[in-house]
Amino acid sequence: MRNFPDIDRVQEMLDEIAMGLPKEFFDGLNNGIVLIEEEKFHPETMMNLSKLNIMGEYVREITGNSIRIYYGSFKRLYEGSPEAYIKLRLEDTLLHEFRHHLEHRAGVNDLILEDKRNMERYRERWER
């Protein structure tokens, strides 16, 4: 059986990462960072043999803004990896989602465009 930290340990890792970020990053993130137990797939890839996991997402709702991190997606991709590596991937994902948050607050959409280009490259690979 392959090993992966339980959801409580992953929450601790996220908290440790978040504590090292500037407090200004959290302005306007009134619903905070939420660790979701489920695995999430990109809807465009649900019919593919190799589904594309969503690791995290920046969510803007009428009730507020949040960053969601998907525990199940991390477990699927990184089960059996060293904890230090998992924490590094969590940090990369969290910073990516914070960039979405900060760009939204600044009225910039560079990362949204970058994500769209990455998805287009993914589609091109699957259409071959």
Question: How do residues 60-90 score in pLDDT, each as one tens digit?
Answer: 999 999 999 999 999 999 999 999 999 999 9
CATH number, domain at 102?
3.30.2010.20
**pLDDT band with cut points at 50, 70 and 90 for residue 128:** low
In a domain, 98, yes or no: yes
67: domain range? 7-127
In a domain, 1, yes or no: no
The domain tally of the chain equals: 1
Asked if the model's pLDDT at residue 127 lies above 70, the reply is no
Please give the pLDDT value at position 122: 76
In a domain, 2, yes or no: no
Cβ atoms 101, 86 nearer than 8 A: no
User: Residue 35 and residue 47: Cα distance in Å, rounded?
Assistant: 26
Please give the pLDDT value at position 85: 98
The percent of residues above 90 in pLDDT, for the chain, comes to 73
In a domain, 70, yes or no: yes
Q: What is the pTM of this model?
A: 0.89
In a domain, 77, yes or no: yes
User: Residue 33 and residue 126: Cα distance in Å, rounded?
Assistant: 32
